[in-house]
Structure 1
Amino acid sequence: MLSTASSAGREAYRDLEKRARVIRRHIVNMIAEAGSGHPGGSLSAVEILTTLYFGVMKIDPKVPDDPERDRFILSKGHAAPALYATLAERGYFAVETLSSLRRLGSPLQGHPDMRKVPGVEMSTGSLGQGLSVGVGMALGARLDHRYYRVYVLLGDGECQEGQIWEAAMAAGHYQLNNLVAIVDRNGLQIDGSTETVMTLSPLAQKWRAFGWNVVEVDGHSFSELFQALDSVAYAHKPTAIIARTVKGKGVTFMEGAVDWHGKAPDRKQREKALEELGE
């Protein structure tokens, strides 16, 4: 785990913060260029993805199909811009490709396609399915005597899907300690507040009831994310990390605004957002 106590640790955190800012700029630019997309839930997940891809996961962009690699599933597939920007910055494909988001013939579709984008482990977009596939991958690792971990990023609104809880029950039953579910708990979904649409609270207790190790963190704090992900190594059951986040994080006029779940900024809004996300 990175420590802020040393100068090397502080420098590492500063590097992650810079990467997160670059990824956010990519997200804004991509969606503005495409004229459509989902900025709110993409921006809320940036620190989570940055921590995983630049600090935690065992991966090699030069060998994206390495059988020993850790797996990541973006179950909330509408946040594809955040994943694409992270993969590009990590070296899976050229950063210049990002400007082709949602264009005809582009590999970067509105939702991730595992057949077209290096580093994408599952084609997602129909919510509720990612954790089930994660359970299958984690069981597969056990059967093949491999030691990779499977990380699944869930939307909190997505946790209203029954299939999530079927998968959670199976993971708890099989004590899949190589499976980590991270809930992007920004409190908003397309129709409004998650608690108004379908109450999720008490969310942590629900995961514990299904036999999971549960950690609650600030989803924008690298130190808390690292500490939570480090604790996975000592768990004897699957781990759920409930990451409290802000929808639209980093762009003030998008933060906490449900209207930015699925629309693109216009020219002036793009300029204002990029100014806020400047170096």
Structure 2
Amino acid sequence: MTTTATEPTAAGSLPGSHGFDELPRLMGLMTGDEKHGPAATSTLDALWVLYDRVLRVSPATAADPDRDRFLLSKGHGPMAYYAVLAAKGFVPADWLPGFGTYDSPLGHHPDRMLVPGVEIGSGSLGHGLPLAVGTALGLRAQGRTGPAVWVLIGDAELDEGSNHEALAFAGPAGLDRLHTLVIDNSSATHGWRGGIASRFEAAGWSAATVDGRDHRALYEAFRAPHPGRPHAVVARVEPKAPARQAAPERAA
């Protein structure tokens, strides 16, 4: 994994906070049968760069109406998300070993009523981008032009028609405070001619495709200017499962 520490952090150093190198240990505290490991590990680097260098939100400002919003649409397998929230001081690290247990606030899907810093209850795929569009519209209606809205979706979520309706609306609406991070681990059923970024560009978005493990590339893509347009970053990571091999032809 490529890390870079030269850019400024968004939330700054917090008392008791942890660094990127400690995230595997924090994730290792969460055990159980419903971990959806690849869904979590595929997001780890991108989540860290967002929370460490981009998002203007911290435990102290989690209720500030002018905070940046982050929506995790890819809500199944949230261990990386919980680890980052713990590393940044939103939740205590000693919550992590209870992940998924009956009385733990850290469920298999994040719950905004139970987990500090979580903006939406998620896990039902296809809802996050429409909710992010509504959030950006709501902030615009309130005259709040400062907060950025970020939503993380998986490439397979683009099999859901709700996402295509949302991205088709957001471009012409000029929602330039809206940002979509697509984690591409090659798990989608359908493909896109020219790649995922081309789908967003066709709808009037700014878009970039980067290595989802390269922290500097992620940071630069996250911070790229996109005046008057929403912005999408496609972060490519290792495939969720090995590519299927074609069955051998039978002898005639």
Q: TM-score range by the shorter chain?
A: 0.7 to 0.9
Amino acid at match of 1:237: R
- Is 2:165 the partner of 1:172? no
Q: What's the CA shift for 1:29?
A: 3.2
Question: Which residue of the other structure, out of 94, 97, 100, is the alignment partner of 1:96?
Answer: 94
The corresponding residue for 1:198 is 190
Aligned CA-pair RMSD: 2.3
- Is 2:12 the partner of 1:20? no
Amino acid at match of 1:229: F
- Is 2:128 the partner of 1:144? no
Q: Number of aligned pairs? A: 232
Q: Residues of 2 paired with 1:235 and 1:185: CA distance?
A: 25
| 1:151 match: secondary structure | strand
Q: Residues of 2 paired with 1:214 and 1:36: CA distance?
A: 33
5 Å matches for 1:158-237? 158-188=157-187, 194=188, 197-201=189-193, 202-232=195-225, 234-237=226-229
The corresponding residue for 2:38 is 40
| 1:242 match: secondary structure | strand
| 1:182 match: secondary structure | strand
Would you say the 8 A contact 2:36–2:76 is kept in 1?
yes
Q: Residues of 2 paired with 1:20 and 1:38: CA distance?
A: 21
> Please, which runs of 5 or more residues in structure 1 have no aligned partner?
189-193, 248-255, 259-279
Q: What's the CA shift for 1:25?
A: 2.9
**Inter-CA distance 36–79: structure 2 relative to 1 (3 Å threshold):** closer
Would you say the 8 A contact 1:160–1:200 is kept in 2?
no
**Inter-CA distance 69–11: structure 2 relative to 1 (3 Å threshold):** closer
Q: Residues of 2 paired with 1:153 and 1:200: CA distance?
A: 19
The corresponding residue for 1:66 is 64
Q: What's the CA shift for 1:227?
A: 0.7
The corresponding residue for 1:240 is 232
Q: Residues of 2 paired with 1:70 and 1:64: CA distance?
A: 9
Q: Residues of 1 paired with 2:120 and 2:74: CA distance?
A: 11
The corresponding residue for 1:257 is 241
The corresponding residue for 2:128 is 130
Would you say the 8 A contact 1:20–1:46 is kept in 2?
no
Question: Which residue of the other structure, out of 6, 11, 14, is the alignment partner of 1:9?
Answer: 6
Structure 1 window deviating more from structure 2 (21-30 vs 125-134): it is 21-30
Q: Please, what TM-score do these two structures have when normalized by structure 2? A: 0.85
Q: Residues of 1 paired with 2:7 and 2:166: CA distance?
A: 38
Q: Residues of 2 paired with 1:11 and 1:52: CA distance?
A: 12
> Please, which runs of 5 or more residues in structure 2 have no aligned partner?
243-252
| Structure 1 consecutive aligned stretches of length 4 or more whose deviation exceeds 6 Å | none
Q: Residues of 2 paired with 1:22 and 1:174: CA distance?
A: 41
1:137-178 CA-partner distances (Å, limit 9, x unpaired): 111111112110000001001111000010001111211000
Q: Residues of 1 paired with 2:98 and 2:48: CA distance?
A: 22
The structure with the greater share of residues assigned to helix is 1
Would you say the 8 A contact 1:112–1:123 is kept in 2?
yes
